[in-house]
């Protein structure tokens, strides 16, 4: 064992170590890039799966919640079909019948207070608004037709969503995902399992090479430092000398491993390139289905618009019913008041009779008093007239006219 | 060094629907059930041994990786999850170590929506379409 | 995303652990958050300071979390209050600007958000007018002296006055509270 021998071995060890470090560094970079690409691909697939699940749920929301429940059941069946076309129509017919019945009744009541011409109570009411509900009822067939149209449109839309959107498009998208991006797709199985394991193995292999060269270099450094006992140095030198001979072979193996890494990276990158090339078709399909979902917003806005129109019609019908109720109550009050008016007329006639009787009685009593007065005047004048001058009671001494005048009338009602 | 505080707000419309039907109590930071607190936080420093991810807990379905610089300023946040996807993140203006994440959970059937009027149902549909488009737009950057 | 289903890894680059002790895993949710808010938002009523150690035991949660969370909740609460004051002040200014027309505008509003009760009230006030127009005889429409209906118009004027008066009072009171 001589120093120059140790030095030569040590130099050799350093040279190989430096080469190995550089080879390992390069290969590790390759592996780490490949691993990052695999991870990114997995993340992409995970997000794609997530979006697909969300699209699936959105399609089902569109079909079941918005269309079937919100429009089909609540709007068409309940609000329009039942509430407007049946309940409201029934109510309007009922009030219209009632009001017509009332008008007929008023037409049949003769106004006995008007003597010159024959009239009925019906002549005294306005009929302009008595057919207000009839007009609304006349509009109902139009509304019914609209509802039928929109129901047909609803069925078509629902059918399209169920068959085309969910049955074909979404299904195709799922199939495309499963065959190209799913976990069970052959390429992805390779990337997720085989290639990932292989990358780890290659990494370990490279680490082992690096460790061998580093260990050998460390042993050389230890020998060079001269800190070992002679016997220790001797046995270590023997090991180092033996290992030194194996360095070229190990180096060849390292370069083979590096080539494996390079080949592996090429294979993985080629596969990933191919897989990533499939993204564009999938993304285009996604764009289409998202646009389709958005297009349905417009369709549903049409339903919403019609819903508002029918709501407005319903409100105007309710207003009509309300006014008809008021009108009917007015007619009922009118008839009642007419009958009360007849009693009022009777009461006034009775009062007039009473007044006539009082006045007739009064006239009779006045006449009686007047006759007695005249008689007494005549007796007085007979006994005293010759002795009294005319001027003693001017104008009155010989006046025999009545003390009163009476002129009255009681109106005929 | 203070430990981090992380909050995550789920932008899924389901929370709004729940709020429409329920009674949102007065609280300064949340009126719906959208806010969550991932409080199981582990730290990895430069001098730590290799990170050993223990798989003892089967329930763990979401992993958040927060990267910071030496000043503990957050530089990158990544959410790995099948149920949630990350929309954005930010730290509080007055506290670097308070991280707020906006995430979205997978759409699910909205049982509470049955009794809502058409306008509200439509609002939900539009909002979800918008969210789908936003999610799709982040796909290419994934 | 909570302590049970989510794990967060904080990767600190360029810094050693330097004795940093990881806080224990604990559970926090909205229910606890609300409870914490109801506790800390009422502290001022009776106590001078918050006993964090006690709170930490009670919530089974580290102190640092409770402190930071409380600070955040107070900060957000303050921001909400600020916004409310701002909205109210702006509302008052607007009210003054529109002035007397406000009542009329309210009456004429037939927007979709008018409640059913309001619609009913509207109908009640409109419908008799409609019926009046239907009457044929003017005599039937004539008001008899002493009929309470005859004072309708002057009464409604009075009530209009009192409505605007109370609105004014309300606005003033609100301003005083501010």
Half-sphere exposure of A30 toward its Cβ, with a 13 Å CA cutoff?
A: 23
Mean pLDDT of A155-159: 93
The residue among B80, B85, B130, B132 with the most chain A CBs within 10 A of its CB, best to mutate, is: B132
Mean pLDDT of A297-324: 90
Mean pLDDT of A205-234: 88
- The three-class DSSP label of residue C35 is helix
Give residue C98's pLDDT.
59
Sheet of strand B74-81, all strands in order from the earlier edge strand to the far edge: B41-44, C6-12, B62-68, B74-81
Q: Each residue of B25-44: pLDDT tens digit?
A: 556 666 567 899 999 999 99
Residue B39 lies in a domain: yes
Q: Which residue has the higher pLDDT, A71 or C80?
A: A71
A105 vs A128: CA distance, rounded Å: 17
Give residue A247's pLDDT.
87
Q: Measuring CA to CA, which residue among A363, A341, A337 is closest to residue A413?
A: A341
Residue B73 lies in a domain: yes
- The three-class DSSP label of residue C27 is coil
Mean pLDDT of C100-120: 45
The answer to whether the pTM exceeds 0.80 is no
Instruction: Write out chain C residues lying below 8 Å of B60, CB-based.
Output: 5-7
Q: Which chains touch C (3 or more CB pairs under 8 A)?
A: A, B
Residue B108 lies in a domain: yes
Residue A151 corresponds to which tokens in the numbers above? 């129901």
Q: Which residues contact A137 (CB under 8 A, 6 or more apart)?
A: A89, A92, A93, A96
> Percent of chain C beyond pLDDT 70?
48
C-alpha separations of B24 from B29, B122, B127 in Å: 12, 22, 21
Q: Rg of chain C's alpha carbons, rounded to an integer?
A: 31
Instruction: Write out chain B residues lying below 8 Å of A70, CB-based.
Output: 118, 121-122
Q: Each residue of A245-270: pLDDT tens digit?
A: 888 898 999 999 999 999 999 999 99
Mean pLDDT of C152-172: 38
Say whether residue B58 is in contact with chain A using an 8 A CB cutoff: no
A57 vs A334: CA distance, rounded Å: 64
C-alpha separations of A33 from A47, A208, A269, A387 in Å: 21, 20, 10, 167
Give residue C134's pLDDT.
40
A286 — pLDDT class (breaks 50, 70, 90) = very high
Query: Is there a contact between A57 and B132 if contact means CB atoms under 8 Å apart?
Result: no
Say yes or no to pLDDT of C136 above 50. no
Instruction: Write out chain A residues lying below 8 Å of B135, CB-based.
Output: 47, 50-51, 54
Give residue C96's pLDDT.
64
For residue B12, the domain's CATH number is 2.60.270.60
Q: Provide the chain A residues 172-211 that lie in CB contact (below 8 A) with chain B.
A: none
Instruction: Write out chain A residues lying below 8 Å of B142, CB-based.
Output: 40, 43-44, 47
Give residue A236's pLDDT.
86
Q: Mean pLDDT, chain C, as a whole number?
A: 66
Say yes or no to pLDDT of A107 above 90. yes
Query: Where in chain C does DSSP place strands (E)?
Result: 6-12
Bridge partner residues of B74 (DSSP) = B68
Tell me the residues of C at the A interface, defined by beta carbons under 8 Å apart.
119, 123, 127-128, 130-131, 133-137, 140
C8 vs A164: CA distance, rounded Å: 43
Q: Which residue has the higher pLDDT, C78 or A32?
A: A32
B64 — pLDDT class (breaks 50, 70, 90) = very high
* Ramachandran angles phi, psi of A308, nearest 5°: -65, -40
The ipTM, to two decimals, is 0.89
How close are the terminal C-alpha atoms of chain C, in Å? 41
Query: Is there a contact between B82 and A49 if contact means CB atoms under 8 Å apart?
Result: yes
Domain layout of chain C by residue ranges: 29-99+160-178
Across A105-135, b (16+ Cβ under 10 Å) vs e yields ebeeeebeeeeeeeeebbebbeeebbebbee
Beta carbons of A101 and A122 less than 8 angstroms apart: no
Residue B49 lies in a domain: no
Say whether residue A55 is in contact with chain B using an 8 A CB cutoff: yes
Give residue C106's pLDDT.
42
Residue B31 corresponds to which tokens in the numbers above? 């009126």
Give residue C48's pLDDT.
65
Say yes or no to pLDDT of C173 above 70. no
Beta carbons of B66 and B40 less than 8 angstroms apart: no
Q: Three-state SS string across A91-139, please?
A: HHHHHHHHHHHHHHHHHHCECCCCCCCCCEHHHHECCCCCCHHHHHHHH
Residue A303 corresponds to which tokens in the numbers above? 């339903």
Q: Mean pLDDT, chain A, as a whole number?
A: 91
Say yes or no to pLDDT of C113 above 60. no
Residue B37 lies in a domain: yes
Q: Which residue has the higher pLDDT, B34 or C95?
A: B34
**Most distant CA atoms of chain B, gap in Å:** 59
Residue B111 lies in a domain: yes
Give the domain range for residue B90: 5-43+60-139
Query: Is there a contact between A70 and B124 if contact means CB atoms under 8 Å apart?
Result: no
Query: Is there a contact between A334 and C140 if contact means CB atoms under 8 Å apart?
Result: yes
B52 — pLDDT class (breaks 50, 70, 90) = low
B15 — pLDDT class (breaks 50, 70, 90) = confident
Residue B129 lies in a domain: yes
Give, to the nearest 10 degrees, the angle between helix B118-139 and helix B14-21: 160
Say yes or no to pLDDT of B111 above 70. yes
Rounded to the nearest angstrom, the gap between the alpha carbon of residue A301 and the centroid of all alpha carbons in its chain is 10
Residue B13 lies in a domain: yes
Least confident of A232-241, A337-346, A381-390, C36-45: C36-45
Domains of chain A: 3-340 (1.20.1270)
Instruction: Write out chain A residues lying below 8 Å of B82, CB-based.
Output: 46, 49-50
Residue A405 corresponds to which tokens in the numbers above? 């005048």
Number of domains in chain B: 1
What does the DSSP assignment read for A322-388?
Answer: HHHHHHHHHHHHHHHHHHHHHHHHHHHHHHHHHHHHHHHHHHHHHHHHHHHHHHHHHHHHHHHGGGS
Burial (Cβ within 10 Å: 0-12, 13-18, ≥19) of residue C157: exposed
Least confident of A300-314, C36-50, C108-122: C108-122
Query: Is there a contact between B139 and A55 if contact means CB atoms under 8 Å apart?
Result: no
Beta carbons of B59 and B83 less than 8 angstroms apart: no
């Amino acid at each position: 064992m001589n120093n120059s021998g140790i030095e030569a071995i040590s130099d050799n060890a350093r040279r190989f170590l430096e080469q190995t470090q550089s080879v390992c560094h390069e290969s590790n970079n390759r592996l780490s890039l490949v691993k990052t690409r695999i991870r990114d691909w997995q993340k992409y697939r995970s997000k794609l799966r997530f979006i697909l699940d969300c699209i699936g749920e959105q399609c089902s929301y569109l079909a079941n919640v918005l269309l079937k429940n919100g429009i089909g059941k609540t709007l068409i069946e309940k609000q329009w079909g039942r509430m407007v076309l049946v309940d409201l129509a029934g109510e309007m017919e009922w009030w219209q019948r009632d009001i017509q019945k009332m008008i007929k009744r008023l037409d049949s009541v003769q106004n006995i207070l008007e003597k010159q011409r024959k009239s009925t109570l019906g002549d005294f009411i306005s009929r302009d608004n008595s057919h207000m509900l009839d007009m609304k009822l006349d509009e109902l067939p139009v509304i019914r037709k609209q509802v039928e149209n929109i129901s047909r449109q609803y069925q078509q839309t629902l059918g399209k969503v169920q068959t085309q959107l969910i049955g074909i498009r979404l299904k195709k998208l799922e199939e495309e995902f499963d065959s190209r991006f799913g976990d069970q797709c052959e390429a992805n199985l390779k990337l997720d399992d085989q290639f990932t394991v292989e990358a780890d193995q290659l990494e370990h292999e490279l680490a082992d090479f690096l460790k061998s060269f580093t260990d050998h270099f460390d042993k050389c450094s230890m020998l060079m430092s001269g800190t070992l006992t002679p016997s220790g140095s001797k046995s270590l030198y023997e090991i180092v000398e033996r290992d030194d001979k194996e360095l070229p072979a190990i180096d060849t193996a390292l370069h083979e491993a590096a080539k494996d890494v390079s080949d592996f990276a090429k294979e993985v990158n080629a596969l990933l390139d191919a897989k990533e090339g499939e993204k564009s078709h999938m993304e285009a399909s996604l764009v289409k289905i998202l646009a389709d979902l958005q297009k349905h917003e417009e369709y549903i806005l049409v339903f919403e618009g019609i819903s508002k129109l029918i709501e407005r019609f319903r409100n105007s019908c309710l207003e009509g019913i309300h006014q008809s109720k008021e009108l009917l109550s007015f007619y009922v009050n009118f008839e009642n008041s007419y009958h009360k008016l007849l009693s009022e007329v009777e009461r006034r006639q009775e009062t007039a009779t009473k007044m006539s009787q009082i006045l007739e009685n009064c006239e009779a009593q006045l006449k009686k008093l007047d006759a007695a007065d005249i008689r007494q005047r005549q007796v007085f004048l007979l006994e005293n007239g010759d002795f009294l001058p005319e001027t003693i009671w001017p104008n009155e001494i010989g006046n025999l006219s009545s003390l009163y005048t009476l002129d009255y009338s009681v109106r005929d009602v | 060094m203070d430990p981090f505080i992380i909050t995550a707000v789920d932008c899924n419309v389901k929370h709004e629907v729940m709020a429409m039907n329920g009674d949102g109590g007065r609280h300064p930071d949340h009126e719906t059930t959208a806010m969550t607190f991932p409080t199981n936080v582990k730290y990895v420093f430069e001098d730590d041994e290799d990170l050993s991810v223990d798989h003892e807990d089967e329930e763990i379905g979401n992993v958040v990786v927060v990267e910071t610089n030496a000043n503990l300023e957050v530089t990158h946040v990544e959410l790995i999850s099948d149920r949630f996807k990350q929309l954005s993140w930010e730290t509080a203006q007055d506290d670097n170590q308070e991280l707020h994440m906006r995430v979205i959970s997978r759409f699910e059937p909205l049982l509470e929506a049955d009794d809502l009027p058409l306008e509200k149902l439509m609002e939900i549909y539009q909002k979800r379409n918008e969210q789908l488009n936003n999610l799709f737009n982040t796909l290419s950057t994934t | 995303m909570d302590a049970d289903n989510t794990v967060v890894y904080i990767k600190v680059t360029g810094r050693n652990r330097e004795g940093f002790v990881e806080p224990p895993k604990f559970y926090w949710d909205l229910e606890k958050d609300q409870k914490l808010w109801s506790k800390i938002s009422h502290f001022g009523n009776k106590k001078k300071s918050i006993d964090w150690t006690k709170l930490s035991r009670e919530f089974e949660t580290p102190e640092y979390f409770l402190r930071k969370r409380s600070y955040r909740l107070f900060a957000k609460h303050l921001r909400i209050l600020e916004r409310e004051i701002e909205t109210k002040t702006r509302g008052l200014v607007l009210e003054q600007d529109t002035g007397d027309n406000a009542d009329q505008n309210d009456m004429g509003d037939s927007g979709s958000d008018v409640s059913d009760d309001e619609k009913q009230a509207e109908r009640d006030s409109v419908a008799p007018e409609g019926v009046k127009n239907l009457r044929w005889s003017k005599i039937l429409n004539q008001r008899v002296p002493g009929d309470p209906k005859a004072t309708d118009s002057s009464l409604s004027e009075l009530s209009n006055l009192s409505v605007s008066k109370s609105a004014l009072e309300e606005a003033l009171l609100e301003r005083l509270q501010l």
